Structures are given as C-alpha cells and as structure tokens.
C-alpha cells in the first residue's frame, strides 16, 4: 500500500525549489535530495486527515427551496440575485417577518455568488450561524440580495449582474455594498435584510436609499458562514425601515458563537436591545464631530440637512454639543492600510484565513482556490487594485505599514473612547454626499473613484469596532440623507436608543 495520501502528491524537485524560493531559501543539491526523500513520509499523515469525516453542522430547518433568478419585471431595482422561500420556526420574535439575506451569507442549498462571476454555481452546504438564528426565531428567508462584486465598493453599481437602482430615485444607485438589502427593504420586498459592513456597507446604502442600517460592535454578531474581507474589520448586521426592527433583529442575531474566530467575550444587555428603545430625547447627549463635516466630497445640502436634523432633536430636549476628534480625519488612511494588506493575505489563504479557532469552510476554500486561479481576470477593478497593492506593500515594505496602521488603530479607538466620557453618542453625516447618479459610461478610474469616495465617515468605525447606526434625517435635492450615531464599543443599546428617540421625536424621516 502506498504511503502517499490519495489527495496529496509529493512535490517534484522543481516544486520544492519553488516553495523554498518563496521564502528566500536557496537549497543546496544535498538539501534538495534529502528533503525530496523525507517529504513523502511526512505527507503520509495526510491520508488519515482525508479519511476522518469533518464534524457535522446541524441544520435546524431542512426544507430548502433553491430558488430562481427573478426577471426585470419581478425585480425592477435588481435588488435580488435569487428569490426563494425557506420558512423558519412557527413561532418566535421574527415570526411573520420576511428576511432577505445578502448574497455573501451562506444559506445551505441556495447559490451564493457574492455578487461576482467568480462564485457562480457555488452552493453552500452549511447555513451561516445568523441564518440558523433567524430561522429559529421564526423568520422566513425570501431571497439572496444583490451586492457589489465581492463587497468591494460602496456605490451600488458594480455587481456582476448590474447596478442596483435606488428605491427613492431610479435615476440614482442604491449605495453598497449591501445594495440589494437596502433596496429590498425600502421597496417592501422584505421586512428586514441582512447586510455586511467592512467600510460602511450597511450604513451607506441605508443612507442613500433612505432606511435604517446598524453596524454592530465588532464581534457582537457572529460572522461564521459569511464571506469576509478581513477578520479584524468584518461586520454583519440588520437593515430595516425602523430602528425597532433593527433592534428586534439584533436581539436574534447577537451572541457568542464558538465557531467564530472574530469574537472575543460577548456581553449582551440583560433586557435585550428592543427594550432599550424607550429613551426620550432629554436622556440623550450627542457629540457632533466637527471633523465629520467638510470633506472634499461633502455636499453643502447634506451638511445642512444633518445639522438641521440635530437642531430638531435639540428642540425636543436632546443635549447637542460640538466635539473635535482630529484623528477622525486619519481614520480613512488607517482603514486603507489595514484593509489592503489584510484582504490580500485573506485571499492568499483561500478566503478562510489562518490562526483563529472555529469553523473553516473547506468546500468554500476549495471552490475559491480553484476559481481565483482560473478566473482572476474576472475580479472587480477595485479588487484587482487592492490585491496588487497589498502584494506590493507586503513584499517591498514587509508589512511595515500594515503593522503601523494596526498600532495607530489603538490611538483612533482611544480618541473616540475619550469622547464617550462626555457624550452618549457621536453624530455626523453617514456619507458626505447623496446617492450617485446612475451612469453607464464610466471609465475604470471613474468607477473606482465612485466606489470609494463615500467612506470617510463610515470606514474609521470598521477598524475601531464601534457600533454605528444610520437613520434617515431628511433629503437634499430630493435624495435621502443619513445621520449616523456612533457609540462606545459594546454600547449598541445606547446607539439604538438614541436612534429610536430621534426617529420618534423628530419629523425628519422619509415616508
């Protein structure tokens, strides 16, 4: 019987030299011969790895509808990749809720494309942890929502299946990367939708499409079974038309999952998030961050609408005061340096990463590994650019800028935390501008610029891990404007309470 494992062949001598060279090792002929002789015996243990079945992941709701791709008549906003119907428990806090799932969240038996050509045909075997929790809570999953290609854009126009139209104005785009999730909620095709957020991708489409989006504290909601961009800044959370529905959904989603390596200790409020919504304006102190205004891409109408909204909140007895956090303007370059190299490293590790304890989706890793080696030309331009830069910076600057950005992240966190000694929440425009006008004639540089030019206020809180909530606060030139409340890490109840008080006691929302 051969000692070689059936699925791992020993490397040739040329492959041994190639692997050594990747680590700048120059092998002597003697070393090469010795290693070539030793490696088959070392690999023999992998035969046993192949033979042992992986631990089963229980699926609590087994009836699965693989769904279908809706046509334009059924889905005029292009909000969905797949329409399906998977019914959860007969009772629960989300009984009667139709929930749409961003298409980078695994729903077993339903194709998951991540908005990209690279993943077409991939059908997960396991539910994401949050999908199990939604179904156990009585939700009905009604579809997988469209998204920016591999979640690497904030505009809403760079999905492999085309732009997602803004539900408030079809001459504009919805915002991304959770573009279809926001469009589905506003159009009434879902009561709640799940979005992901690495640079603002829940809050941006919520602001541009005129709904509520909550990015939870990092690690509060388990990311197991969701395709990510980087373990230290991956977030997943709810999008809905009201703060109350976001809070009710967060009560279902939040909590410890031993399978998620992103989570540390998770502390939940004793009475839940929905019960924290009984705050009145006079119980809320808001710090308006001066550095959240006046960006290069800021539109005067957005700034005016947000300040008017905060004045209206103050008129209802909220305490509003100006605060200055100079390092906030450094948040975007800190975010960029972390994301660029961390994402490139995650791709090199076949999209599943290393070092963390928890669930590793071997089927996804196998699919992505093959796809990226045969279809890399299909990557979105923003993905190509980021991978090139990440590889260059890692190779030529040896991780220096990634490491320094991670150190600077602590200063960013500290500056925000210091502000929370004086105020309950921070406030600023969610995005500096309203939704981009739909265009079909973009050059590649224009598409990349439009994909990233709205992140200045949202991205810093992805690397800092603070919770952020975007609520509609009015319009500018007829388009929705989002007001973002940010709280201390772990203070999601405070953020949701402030948002609910604003929503209930001011007439600044969208009908």
Active site residue 117: no
What percent of the chain shows pLDDT beyond 70? Answer: 98
1 has pLDDT over 70: no
Q: What is the pLDDT of residues 157-185, one digit of tens each?
A: 999 999 999 999 999 999 999 999 999 99
pLDDT score, position 104:
98
The pLDDT value recorded for residue 449 is: 96
pLDDT at 50 over 90: no
Model confidence at 384: pLDDT above 80: yes
Q: Select which of 102, 159, 178, 371 is catalytic.
A: 102
Catalytic residue among 155, 169, 181, 201: 201
102 is catalytic: yes
CA 343 to chain centre: 13
- The yes-or-no verdict on residue 60 having pLDDT over 90 is no
pLDDT at 511 over 90: no
Q: pLDDT-based confidence at 379, cuts 50/70/90?
A: very high
- Indicate the pLDDT class of residue 508, thresholds 50, 70 and 90: confident
The 10s digit of each residue's pLDDT in 270-328 is 999 999 899 999 999 999 999 999 999 999 999 999 999 999 999 999 999 999 999 99
Task: Give the predicted TM-score (pTM) of the model.
Answer: 0.95
> How high is the pLDDT of residue 3?
40
Q: How many alpha carbons lie under 13 Å from residue 464 in its C-beta half-sphere?
A: 28
Beta strands per DSSP E along 203-263: 212-215, 235-240
Percent of the chain with pLDDT over 90: 91
31 neighbors 19 (Cβ within 8 angstroms): no
User: 123-164, pLDDT tens digit by residue?
Assistant: 999 999 999 999 999 999 999 999 999 999 999 999 999 999
6-33: b or e for each residue (b if 16 or more CB lie within 10 Å)? eeeebbeeeebbeeeeeeeeebeeeeee
Residue 412, CA atoms < 13 Å, CB-side half-sphere: 23
Class of domain 80-505: alpha beta
Q: Which of 153, 169, 177, 464 is catalytic?
A: 177
* pLDDT level of residue 57 (50, 70, 90 thresholds): confident
Q: Are 281 and 313 in contact (CB under 8 A)?
A: yes
- Does residue 6 have a pLDDT over 50? no
Given a contact cutoff of 8 angstroms between Cβ atoms, the answer to whether 136 and 127 are in contact is no
For range 335-353, the mean pLDDT? 97
For residue 2, name the pLDDT band (cuts at 50, 70, 90): very low
Residue 496: pLDDT band with limits 50, 70, 90: very high
- Digit-coded pLDDT (tens) for 18-41: 999 989 999 999 999 999 999 999
Mean pLDDT in the chain?
A: 95
Of the pLDDT bands very low, low, confident and very high (cuts 50, 70, 90), residue 207 is: very high
Distance CA 354, CA 227 (A): 14
The answer on pLDDT for 388 being more than 50 is: yes
Nearest in space to 132 (alpha carbons), one of 253, 228, 218: 253
Q: Is 229 exposed, middle or buried (0-12, 13-18, 19+ CB in 10 A)?
A: buried
Q: Where in the chain is the domain with CATH 3.90.1300.10?
A: 80-505
What is the torsional sign of CA 155, 330, 500, 304? Answer: negative
pLDDT for res 5: 40
The sign of the torsion formed by the CA atoms of 395, 401, 404, 405 equals negative
């Amino acid at each position: 019987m051969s000692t070689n494992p059936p699925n791992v062949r020993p490397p040739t001598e040329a492959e041994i030299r190639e692997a050594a060279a990747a680590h700048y090792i120059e092998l002597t002929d003697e070393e090469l011969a010795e290693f070539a002789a030793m490696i088959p015996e070392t690999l023999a243990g992998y035969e046993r790895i192949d033979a042992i079945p992986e631990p089963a992941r229980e699926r609590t709701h087994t009836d699965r509808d693989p769904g279908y791709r809706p046509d334009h008549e059924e889905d005029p906003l292009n909000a969905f990749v797949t329409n399906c119907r998977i019914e959860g428990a007969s009772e629960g806090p989300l009984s009667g809720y139709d929930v749409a799932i961003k298409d980078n969240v695994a729903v077993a038996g339903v194709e998951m494309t991540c908005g990209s050509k690279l993943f077409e045909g991939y059908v997960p075997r396991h539910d994401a942890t949050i999908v199990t929790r939604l179904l156990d809570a009585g939700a009905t999953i009604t579809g997988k929502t469209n998204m920016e290609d591999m979640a690497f854009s904030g505009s809403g126009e760079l999905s492999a299946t085309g732009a997602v139209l803004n539900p408030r104005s079809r001459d504009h785009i919805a915002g991304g990367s959770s573009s279809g999730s926001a469009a589905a909620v506003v159009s009434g095709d879902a009561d709640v939708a799940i979005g992901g957020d690495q640079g603002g991708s829940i809050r941006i489409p919520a602001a541009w499409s005129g709904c509520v989006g909550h990015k939870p504290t990092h690690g509060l909601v388990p990311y197991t079974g969701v395709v990510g961009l980087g373990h230290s800044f991956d977030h997943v959370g709810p999008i809905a038309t009201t703060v109350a529905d976001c809070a009710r959904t967060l009560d279902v989603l939040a909590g410890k999952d031993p399978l998620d390596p992103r989570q540390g200790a998770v502390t939940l409020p004793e009475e839940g998030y929905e019960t924290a919504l009984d705050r009145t304006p006079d119980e809320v102190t808001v710090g308006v961050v001066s550095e959240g205004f006046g960006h290069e891409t800021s539109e005067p109408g957005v700034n005016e609408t947000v300040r008017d909204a905060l004045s209206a909140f103050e008129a209802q007895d909220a305490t509003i005061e100006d605060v200055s956090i100079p390092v906030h303007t450094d948040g975007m370059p800190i975010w960029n340096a972390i994301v660029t190299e961390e994402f490139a490293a995650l791709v090199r590790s076949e999209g599943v990463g290393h070092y963390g304890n928890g669930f590793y989706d071997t089927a996804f890793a196998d699919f992505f590994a093959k796809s990226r080696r045969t279809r890399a030309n299909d990557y979105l331009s923003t993905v190509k650019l980021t991978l090139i830069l990440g590889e260059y910076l890692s190779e030529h600057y040896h991780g220096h800028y990634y490491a320094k950005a991670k150190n600077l992240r602590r200063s960013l966190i500290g500056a925000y935390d210091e502000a929370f000694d004086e105020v309950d929440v921070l406030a600023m425009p969610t995005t500096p501008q309203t939704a981009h006008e739909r265009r079909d004639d973009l050059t590649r540089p224009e598409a990349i610029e439009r994909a990233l030019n709205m992140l200045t206020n949202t991205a810093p809180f992805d690397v800092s891990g603070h919770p952020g909530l975007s609520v509609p606060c009015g319009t500018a030139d007829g388009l929705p404007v989002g007001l973002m409340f940010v709280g201390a890490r772990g203070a999601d109840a405070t953020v949701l309470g402030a948002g609910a008080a604003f929503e209930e006691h001011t007439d600044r929302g969208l009908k």
